[in-house]
Chains A and B, each alone.
Chain A
Amino acid sequence: MADMPAFDYHIDIPGTTIFDGKQAMKGYALNKMCYSFNKAENREAFKADEEAFMEKYGLNDQQKQAIRDRNVLGLIEAGGNIYYLAKFAGIFGLSVQDVGGLQTGRSTEEFKDYLKSQA
């Protein structure tokens, strides 16, 4: 997809990607695949053949690679929305603390401690 350079209605918030129209268009195929994981049959089909499943949903190379690498920040960069990505993470039994740790370079325990430290 061609970039939309003038398409920016947001302030810069470090460590935060605003999921707007631009991201939603970029990540449409990826999010659509993850949305399909609401259904157990699609989770099973993905597990049986990840490559074929990604192909079926038309993921681009960047999205496919981020899925292969289980790279959460890479998935966001590729247009993924965390609510749909959470369904992808669910296939592997990952909690939101696991996912938080993966994105911030912490272990799950370190991430939980960080949450507690803000009380």
Chain B
Amino acid sequence: MAKILGGITTSHIPAVGNAIQKELYDDPYWKPFFDGYPKVHKWIQDNKPDYVINIYNDHGLGFFLDRMPTFAIGAAHEYKNEDEGWGLPSLDPFPGAPELSWHIIESMVADEFDITSCQELPVDHGFVVPMQLFWPGAPHHPDMPKTVPISANTVQHPIPTLKRALDFGRSLRKALLSFPEKDAKIVVLGTGGLSHQLDGQRAGFINKEFDQYCLENIVHNPDELTKISRMELVEKAGAQGTEFLMWMMMRGALGDDVTEITRNYHIPISNTAAGTLLLECAA
């Protein structure tokens, strides 16, 4: 049976891709952000996951408003990174794991989660930037795991509730643990957040206090966070801070017993309060 090693969350700001390309690791603006990753790199090197479940939110590349799935799971042999409209160079495709994808889809639909399966899914910065941060040189890192992308809708309301996101993760956990490949090692990512708002007269809004509350509780007390309503999430985390739902989905997949390995929090990167968290599952 498969094993879930742990979960890693990170913000997925598009500007990070550019900073990586220019190797701005020691630049005064970027250093406090990039300093959050060496411990993650070491953990990945020590644990070498075979599969990475990348939970992110599409920002208008893979999906448009014509058909907007609340929860979509990739089921492809590979995932192409494509131009998001800014003409930036695209990365090479990421190798998929269709056997695992279909196992998850079968298991979760049987568990009464209604999933949209995707045999073609172009992946945007929400998926790609975390891969670059965790596996430098991705997708050509020598230990690059095979991947299953999962995208949740935060483009258009109604978005899922925090409880639904956590429950989704718990159902995903059952699916992963029952994957029949012997000793398969899996890591789960939750990307996006933390507080930020791009649009409206309130653009630029950041909420350190609320972010810290979320960071504190997500480690050992994620159910507490399900009390937050979606409108309250918009109000306190900012209109795009709703991406915290991905963190809740990841957290649900880890089970109750986790150890915090590292955490980083920095304001601002681009318009965002950037957060990183690595949680290891009990053996």
- Within the complex, which residue of B66, B82, B208 is in contact with A38, where a contact is CB–CB below 8 Å? B82
User: In the bound complex, do residue B60 and residue A17 qualify as a contact, i.e. CB atoms below 8 Å apart?
Assistant: no
- Residue among B86, B270, B273 having the largest count of chain A Cβ atoms under 10 Å: B86
The docked-state distance in angstroms from the alpha carbon of A13 to that of B66 is 27
Given contacts A115-B206, A118-B206, A16 and B268 within 8 Å (CB-CB): no
Given contacts A16-B197, A83-B155, A87-B60, A103 and B203 within 8 Å (CB-CB): yes
Cβ contacts B219-239/A at 8 Å (1 or 0 each): 000000000000100110001
Given contacts A82-B198, A119-B267, A20 and B206 within 8 Å (CB-CB): no
User: B280 — which chain A residues lie within 8 A by C-beta?
Assistant: none
Give the contact stretch, choosing among A47-55, A59-67, A94-102: A94-102
Q: On chain B, which size bracket covers the interface?
A: 35 or more
Given A17-B199, A38-B61; 11 other pairs, CB 8 A cutoff: A16-B199, A20-B156, A28-B65, A32-B64, A35-B64, A40-B83, A43-B85, A82-B199, A87-B85, A119-B266, A119-B268
B239 to chain A, nearest CB (A): 6
In the complex formed, the residue of A with least CB distance to B84 is: A38
User: In the bound complex, do residue B271 and residue A100 qualify as a contact, i.e. CB atoms below 8 Å apart?
Assistant: yes
Would you mind naming 12 contact pairs between A and B with Cβ atoms under 8 Å apart? A9-B158, A14-B202, A16-B197, A16-B202, A16-B234, A32-B65, A43-B87, A87-B84, A96-B198, A103-B200, A104-B201, A119-B267
In the complex formed, the residue of A with least CB distance to B197 is: A16
Given contacts A87-B84, A115-B268, A14 and B201 within 8 Å (CB-CB): yes
User: B235 — which chain A residues lie within 8 A by C-beta?
Assistant: 11, 13, 16
The docked-state distance in angstroms from the alpha carbon of A83 to that of B83 is 14
Give the dominant DSSP class at A's interface. helix
B98 to chain A, nearest CB (A): 25
User: A15 — which chain B residues lie within 8 A by C-beta?
Assistant: 200-203, 205
User: B64 — which chain A residues lie within 8 A by C-beta?
Assistant: 31-32, 35
User: In the bound complex, do residue B155 and residue A19 qualify as a contact, i.e. CB atoms below 8 Å apart?
Assistant: yes
The docked-state distance in angstroms from the alpha carbon of A31 to that of B59 is 12
Shortest 3 CB-CB contacts between residues of A and residues of B = A15-B202, A87-B85, A15-B201
User: In the bound complex, do residue B155 and residue A118 qualify as a contact, i.e. CB atoms below 8 Å apart?
Assistant: no
Given contacts A11-B235, A96-B198, A39 and B83 within 8 Å (CB-CB): yes
Contacts of B68-95 to chain A: CB distance below 8 A: 82-87
User: In the bound complex, do residue A24 and residue B65 qualify as a contact, i.e. CB atoms below 8 Å apart?
Assistant: yes
Interface check B157, CB cutoff 8 A: yes
- Residue among B83, B155, B201, B203 having the largest count of chain A Cβ atoms under 10 Å: B203
User: In the bound complex, do residue B203 and residue A99 qualify as a contact, i.e. CB atoms below 8 Å apart?
Assistant: yes
The docked-state distance in angstroms from the alpha carbon of A81 to that of B200 is 10
In the complex formed, the residue of B with least CB distance to A35 is: B64
- Within the complex, which residue of A10, A21, A111, A116 is in contact with B156, where a contact is CB–CB below 8 Å? A21
User: In the bound complex, do residue A18 and residue B86 qualify as a contact, i.e. CB atoms below 8 Å apart?
Assistant: no
The docked-state distance in angstroms from the alpha carbon of A85 to that of B155 is 12
Interface check A84, CB cutoff 8 A: yes
User: A9 — which chain B residues lie within 8 A by C-beta?
Assistant: 157-158
Interface check B204, CB cutoff 8 A: yes
User: In the bound complex, do residue A16 and residue B200 qualify as a contact, i.e. CB atoms below 8 Å apart?
Assistant: yes
User: B155 — which chain A residues lie within 8 A by C-beta?
Assistant: 19, 81, 83
User: A16 — which chain B residues lie within 8 A by C-beta?
Assistant: 197, 199-200, 202, 234-235, 239
- Residue among B66, B205, B208, B266 having the largest count of chain A Cβ atoms under 10 Å: B205
Given contacts A13-B202, A82-B199, A86-B85, A118 and B268 within 8 Å (CB-CB): yes
User: In the bound complex, do residue A118 and residue B199 qualify as a contact, i.e. CB atoms below 8 Å apart?
Assistant: no
The docked-state distance in angstroms from the alpha carbon of A82 to that of B198 is 7
- Within the complex, which residue of B60, B65, B199, B207 is in contact with A103, where a contact is CB–CB below 8 Å? B199
The docked-state distance in angstroms from the alpha carbon of A31 to that of B87 is 19
